[in-house]
Structure 1
């Protein structure tokens, strides 16, 4: 997902969208008090982040609907397919998490329904935190569901480190709790689901890398869907040059190559300009080699020290004594997740986790 701090992102819940929600509510519940809803929802709107605005909508729906929880859910189920944004529809699972904590069966069934219109991934974590055994048991059943949205929720909802949400400390401490769910999904035919499983496993590598490696080494990677999940689940470990992770994807050997003519152009830039890293890679042996090629930039920090960031470049099979030219362009611009500072930034070429060549570029003050 995009960074929550993005100014444009929160405009998903702008005045026009709130009016759309109110109009569609009126269509499914004619007695809906549009004026009261809009008055509550728009108060202080400019100061709220996208997630705060999502919460605001569900709170205002609750404040305006003169119904009990079960009756309100029936209205919101009619509303869900009428909303014109999948992200906006996530206010409905938020409603469930906020007002349905003591109605487990009814609420979990509602989350299962709502997830097909956006996602219930944030809301379900409240139920996992309050009753993890019961929730995981139900999500295990969902991992075999016909609907890919429901299967994805089974994996995404119990990710230990889901972005924009609180961590699930018990699963973070013991990934075996959700392992059966991941096992059911390890060869899923939906890319939407496979991405979630890979991200879930990549989360676990931050705390239990050996557990993930043991798990994937026990899988048959002849299935292309399982192999895809393995590659993407191990991406952080591959960037770190973990030998077991590299071996799983067939790139565990020491690279017998030479890096030539490595350069960054232009070598001196102003912030906001583009650089292009280019180099040649030449095999020095007769046999073909499976190679994972990355590059790292040592970003200069405010205090003058540096912090490395690894970027994926290419995975290839290089025939014996063959050579290939590789190039990659990158904008060096301010991001919500990274500030740039003037100075010399080293750039390193990594092959199967080994640093084989370096160059540099300079950002002007």
Structure 2
């Protein structure tokens, strides 16, 4: 899933994939599949109030409209949607098929889980499977452990992605937030998967767990053979939040555990800027050590809040092996703009340079 800036932009872009033209195209396909489809009912249900709906509201409304316009039982409607799925030709739009199952199929657990494993190959069922996990975690995870051995990588990924405790845009699985152990057999089964698509989901799942149980994840990863490149990549991606936070055990796991022997400066420019303008950061780092050092370099912006206090956000900069007595100059630019997840306020914003989890230099800029 995207970070906060990407998430805001993505939601706005994806929303337009559920525009009037798209809904009319879906209606035409359904009418071609079955003469029983009530096209006028479908279009009225999805088009009234369309502009005011968010991305996920549009996905859900499309599922509601299908239910209103298709006669028959839940299983009969799913049979029609199975025929529709390959005709949609759009992975994200196809998510409404999964939403339909999640909304209307909770009383038919096994049938619905099988339907989700089919629909996920057209558009991910990662959101739709979560109500089934919440309703009967043991039953759902038993099925998902089977999915981890499926021939289709989309189904295998669903086993990991759908059971993430804190999936962005998805309902939180509070039981798995409290105790993540039940999903570990799924992740262990998938950590050597041939598809990077699946392995990335394993890493993101583990990163979710680090937010509540960092030592649980680190103990697991310390038992992996991190000399194998794909496992090291998963582990590092899984620990990205911990590394940004300067977690000592996570830093040590990847060779960043020693305090950096360096001198450093940081300069933010311009000293004063307005919303929408570009901030440039320049860092100079010089080794004072007689041997090479592994360094993970991040920067931290202390954003001013509405009441005048500040909250900090850590951004990844780079990783490097710095030779003895050598120097390194870095530059980074970032546009200061509002997102749906973060508004900016006037005031002095501190910026820290963080190396191996330690704050080693600082600068500031004034946002007008």
TM-score in same-fold range (> 0.5): yes
Q: Does 1:293 align with 2:309?
A: no
Q: Does 1:113 align with 2:90?
A: no
Q: Distance in 2 between matches of 1:217 and 1:109?
A: 35
Q: Does 1:221 align with 2:226?
A: yes
Aligned twin of 2:327: 323
Shift in CA distance, 6/151, structure 1 to aligned 2, threshold 3 Å? closer
Aligned twin of 1:33: 38
- C-alpha displacement at 1:66, in angstroms? 1.2
**Residues 4 and 164 in structure 1, CA contact (< 8 A), matched pair in contact too:** no
Q: Distance in 2 between matches of 1:26 and 1:322?
A: 69
Instruction: Structure 2: state its 5+ residue gaps.
Output: none
**Residues 280 and 334 in structure 2, CA contact (< 8 A), matched pair in contact too:** yes
User: Tell me, what secondary structure is at the counterpart of 2:276?
Assistant: coil
**Residues 5 and 49 in structure 1, CA contact (< 8 A), matched pair in contact too:** no
- C-alpha displacement at 1:189, in angstroms? 2.7
TM-score, scaled to structure 2: 0.95
CA deviations over 1:245-275 (Å, ceiling 9, x no partner) = 0111111111111114x21121111111001
Match of 2:150 among 145, 149, 163: 145
- C-alpha displacement at 1:28, in angstroms? 2.2
- C-alpha displacement at 1:191, in angstroms? 1.9
**Residues 288 and 320 in structure 1, CA contact (< 8 A), matched pair in contact too:** yes
Shift in CA distance, 198/80, structure 1 to aligned 2, threshold 3 Å? same
Match of 2:192 among 187, 191, 213: 187
Question: How many aligned residue pairs are there?
Answer: 363
Instruction: Structure 1: state its 5+ residue gaps.
Output: none
Comparing 1-10 with 86-95, greater Cα deviation is found at 1-10
**Residues 41 and 68 in structure 2, CA contact (< 8 A), matched pair in contact too:** no
- C-alpha displacement at 1:208, in angstroms? 0.9
Q: Distance in 2 between matches of 1:183 and 1:250?
A: 24
Shift in CA distance, 238/272, structure 1 to aligned 2, threshold 3 Å? same
Aligned twin of 2:105: 100
Comparing 348-357 with 55-64, greater Cα deviation is found at 55-64
**Residues 130 and 162 in structure 2, CA contact (< 8 A), matched pair in contact too:** yes
Q: Does 1:282 align with 2:286?
A: yes
Comparing 98-107 with 232-241, greater Cα deviation is found at 98-107
- C-alpha displacement at 1:5, in angstroms? 9.6
- C-alpha displacement at 1:280, in angstroms? 1.4
Q: Distance in 2 between matches of 1:284 and 1:143?
A: 49
CA deviations over 1:110-133 (Å, ceiling 9, x no partner) = 100111111001111111111111
**Residues 239 and 294 in structure 1, CA contact (< 8 A), matched pair in contact too:** yes
- C-alpha displacement at 1:15, in angstroms? 0.5
Q: Distance in 2 between matches of 1:5 and 1:198?
A: 21
CA deviations over 1:53-82 (Å, ceiling 9, x no partner) = 111111111111112222221211111111
CA deviations over 1:89-129 (Å, ceiling 9, x no partner) = 11111111122112222111110011111100111111111
**Residues 187 and 223 in structure 1, CA contact (< 8 A), matched pair in contact too:** no
Match of 1:161 among 157, 166, 169: 166
- C-alpha displacement at 1:351, in angstroms? 0.3
Alignment RMSD, CA only? Answer: 1.5
CA deviations over 1:170-189 (Å, ceiling 9, x no partner) = 11111111110111112223
Q: Distance in 1 between matches of 2:201 and 2:8?
A: 18
- C-alpha displacement at 1:9, in angstroms? 3.6
Q: Does 1:58 align with 2:58?
A: no
Q: Does 1:269 align with 2:273?
A: yes
Comparing 190-199 with 323-332, greater Cα deviation is found at 190-199
User: Tell me, what secondary structure is at the counterpart of 2:94?
Assistant: helix
Q: Distance in 1 between matches of 2:359 and 2:218?
A: 23
Match of 2:208 among 203, 221, 227: 203
Q: Distance in 1 between matches of 2:31 and 2:323?
A: 65
**Residues 281 and 325 in structure 1, CA contact (< 8 A), matched pair in contact too:** yes
Aligned twin of 1:125: 130
Aligned twin of 1:335: 339
